[in-house]
Structure 1
Amino acid sequence: MPPEAIAFPRTVPCAPPFSVPVPTAPRGGFRSCAASLPVAAPLGGRDVWRRRRTAIDGPPGPLVGNVGAPREHHRRQSGHRYLDRSVDMGELLASLAETTTADELHAVMSPYLNSSGGSGPGRRLPLSLRFMVGLLSREPDWRRSLALLDWMLDAAGYPPSIFAYNVVLRNALRAGQWALAGGLAREMHDRHSLAPDRCTYATLISSLGKAGRLDDALSWLHRMERDGVRGDLVLYSTLIELARKLGDHSKAISVFSRLRSYGIAPDLVAYNSMINVFGKAGLLREAHQLLREMEESDPASAVRPDIVSYSTLLTAYVENRRYVEALSLFSEMRERRIPLDLTTFNIMIDVYGQLGMPREADRSFWSMRKLGVDPNVVSYNTLLRVYGEAELFGEAIHLFRLMQRKGAEQNVVTYNTMIGVYGKSLEHEKAGNLVQEMQKKGIHPNAVTYSIIISIWGKAGKLERAVQLFQKLRTSGAKIDHVLYQTMIAVYERAGLVAHAKRLLSDLKESDDNSVPKETVITILANAGRVEEAAQLFRRAFEVGEVKDIAVFQCMMDLFARNKKHRNVIEVFEKMRGAGYFPDSDMIGVALNAYGKLQEFRKAESLYREMQEEGCVFSDQVHFQMLSLLGARRDFNRVESFLKELGSNPNINKQELRIVAAGVYERANRLDDASRIIWNQAPVDFNETLSEGYAL
């Protein structure tokens, strides 16, 4: 039976916790399944749809469709209280599968109505509640299971069962019926006084989480905790992982804090996820503390860090350009005899290169096979880049040809790196030949490839070839990113053709076609320092909804901040917040700095508190910036109270905090207070200080 032929839906008017309404219909009405219930509707309350009743509520009317007279699905009669053992559930399910409306389903189930009539204590239900829950769990279609639940509650008079509701709710969630699932959970409580249990909430939250509906899942988590139902590690870990994948680090950290506040011990997966989250959020000290916590916990119940724990923290250090800390951690891994994997080797080859230690990178690469780890294309590409940056051109060419002789995989990154190596060694023709070589091997050049080639030709004085290639790319419809445009602009400016560079920028700004996205043009103009042109295009694009990447907002804030246009920084920040984007710690720091430059200290503090309440995780620099702004406002009582607040935060570097606080007092010519802070003495009451005649 095709799903679209079934007409079992209920109508679901939405109620909290979500606010988008779902259309309603009369209580007794029927609507087609495809039209009545949006799949992606938000969760909410539900009005139970009913089959049409006569004036006297009795058995269903005549059958419709292709379902015949009521059939009994008995195996044999028995003397048990219920007919469970004499009813073939498989046959009953097969009969239910033929139904397409609620009336048909009620007709199939009519032989199993209350045989004594009425609903008093003398009634006898032919099928037990346990049998009916089993029948619900085996019914694959959410619409039939919902109609069957209605039959149980309204026609057959079964008592409301949390087990039956949980099964139907699970079926609705599997079909993506979010609104209906939320309505069922609310109906349990509001209509039948059944308190949703851990299974109800876990099913809802896990399904929403797996579907990427993080805010909906967190809303139900809050309700679960409010109702006193305790979640488990799997539930919290699911939400942490979802928030991590969505890049919502603040929410991941919030869920992890709630997990720990309930006394739930994280497992290895949760620890590794949170090390990654803290690293992505730039909270490296917190990430390192988690690793230390794993290492120093009670051995009897400890969760010991594995190679993933260490490599995740290594990656965080590298992404935040903390190469010395990465090297220190790697040395610690060697001392602890942690077995090294491919990811760790690749990270450390990069770290050695960034620290200007190409020989150590070389030694690390060639020791991989001795330790039982085979290098992959990333290993080769990283070492090629290290050789190129160290101007070890001979070693780079040797390794590149060795890859080809051994049949090692080569990709577009490999060729881009080697093209750059030939460009640095002034072998321009060989660089161009590599483009042809990679095309013959079926490796397609990308925008980075062409950017490197154009830059090489520009530096070699072959402007005409660079311009021809760029024009060919524009007319061929190839994808041109902002890096490629900026490379061509730099080539023009290096050759003294400033007018050509301005014309290219003007063409981009005034282009009405969609060959280059407006976000790309804004980024190009901003990186070129064209403040007015970037600002005008940004405002036009924002008004028509073409600015959808938070990186564009950040780019414009940085542009205005560099050019001391602090009002414009605030303008962009407010537009971003109004569009529903959540800023990171760096963007908040830029906004706080703008408020400080404008002497709007109260607005700065209001923003700081607002973002703190919304769960934003600040870096130490943002906290210190807020402290400096309070000092600039010369509100030293607030400075002292804020110092106490920061001092009680275990995640803040106390030594740096004292240095920043001392600087605040030094700038206010309060040298005694600066000395007190440095020597960590008790604070003074600044109201008393004022009465003693000290000038602020």
Structure 2
Amino acid sequence: MNVAAEQLCLSVLNKSKTLKTVKQIHAFVCKTGLETDPFVAGKLLLHCVVTVSDALDYARRLLFRFPKPDVFMYNTLIRGLAESDTPENAFVVFAHMRRRAIAPPDSFSFAFLLKAAANLRSFRAGIQLHCQGFVHGLDTHIFVGTTTISMYAECGCVSFARKVFEEMLEPNVVAWNAIVNACFRCGDVENGERLFERMPFWNLTSWNVVLSGYMKAGEVELARKAFSRMPVKDDVSWSTMIVGFAQHGCFDDTFGLFRELHRVGMRPNETSLTGILSACSQAGAFEFGKIIHGFMEKAGFLWIVSVNNALLDTYSKCGNVGMARLVFERMPEKKSIVSWTSMIAAHAMYGYGEEAIRLFNEMEDSGTRPDGITFISILYACSHAGLIEEGCQYFSKMRDYGIEPTIEHYGCMVDLYGRAGELQKAYEFACEMPIPPNAIIWRTLLGASSIHGNVELAEKVKERLSRLDPDNCGDHVLLSNIYSTAGKWKDAAGVRRSMNEQRIRKTPGWSMIEVDKLIYSFVAGEKQNEITKEAYEKLREIMTKLRIEGGYIPQVGSVYHDIEEEEKEDSVTRHSEKLAVAFGMARLREGKSIRIVKNLRVCGDCHTVMKLISKVYGLEIVVRDRSRFHSFRDGYCSCRDYW
């Protein structure tokens, strides 16, 4: 009877995916008298830890109620806790095991505990475990030694990791991979390379460790060379390169490698898809994003929540909130907090404050609790829509959810007041914050002072910034611009002279546009080539038409140098976003929307020009600058001139 019951129990357990069914099986085990069987109890415990996502607490109760748990059962729970959000609990279970005088811990016990120490970044716990390993005679065990290397790497102690490795009698390829990875993780690229070249032989993991290490260190070219040397590549190799290129802004390389992945017959995985979508969102590559969307639909990836969230983010950052909303509404499962927050952030970037608030309320009604990032998004939405009262209400509402405001939330409030012109209130808010304002807070206020032309406050804020971040080029440029706008050319020249003396270089403005699934970048004043010549030629034609039909008069206030009016007019004409739009108009077919991504805030003159182009040429132009979207149609902008 018990044998049959045991087989039935194990058969049903293998198909169980929820805590509810696990409890039902446990009840059956108790009813049939199998609750004291170590084999059945061990299987039940392992299933709770490995297969069922929310059953760790239940597994702990199972273990503590079992009359004589063995080391395997304890190791199973320690393993689950080590990989959970509360790895410190693994040490509590280990202490319980030692108090109950069970058989001494084995190599698995220490490997899982070292993993817990690594996840906690606890050097103190890690070194204590290392010492206990010596006591239990496991100092030469290859499995424990390899895990110890990884633990020290996570704690940033590469010298300890190397010492452990050097004391190994016969390190295998896994141990070699661990020490190479340790060097790269701790930023020791030189020793990572040297150890890699010393390895007796390499496996695929060895190459992938090096690729990942180079990318994390920003050594893109070295990663590219290593990738080309690899005799065999798997999906991890491809996804590491795609994600790495995207993270370092090598968008053409990202798109090219994704095409190559298809050409060689490899199937993209979840990581490579989120990587390519990240590149699309950063570059504003809407057309390429649509191709990836089509591929995902055909290949059956749209059931994966993380991929859906990446797709939603891509459409929203490419300036198509309608498509983002479509992805959001078609999500197959219950929407995660990331999905809701992404949609709120998408509307915030467009200045659609009321719609963002509606989404927030809808999210609450669905039973999803907002987190700190959600509140940053809703405060950002209120700030960019001028909804001061609503923003204050949401800031207060954070405490209803037990969320303590962070520096980012306080920054949103300073921005909320600053954009609305309530500069004194913004300054007082910053001074009265319970945590010291950082450079970003003061920089936000400096930007608001620039928008509203408050020289006195700008000088006061810049003095604070000089103590926190004296070498930031943007702060110097902003102050120089404020002086120039106020006609204080001598003070502006003094700031620029100070920048030269300190060798502080201004960040050049650039704009990108996608044309025929290729990304083109423009920088004002760059050396001309065939692409820029085409853009300048089209721009001259556009500006002439705007003067005649649109009544365009250059806003030379956007030029912050004491030079002749004619030179100022020429300077504003050559801004990178104008060149990108002109190139798009020259290359894209009629009726096609133009989408631009810019690294700096769009200037007043460019904003006016975009409105005029949209009216005179009947075009839709979408510009994403460093803080928001501007959608130009029929001579109007979605920001309603509030940005």
More strand by share: 2
TM, length-normalised to structure 1: 0.45
In terms of Rg, which structure is larger?
A: 1
If asked which structure has higher relative contact order (CA below 8 Å, sep 6+), I would say: 2
TM-score, normalising length from structure 2?
Answer: 0.48
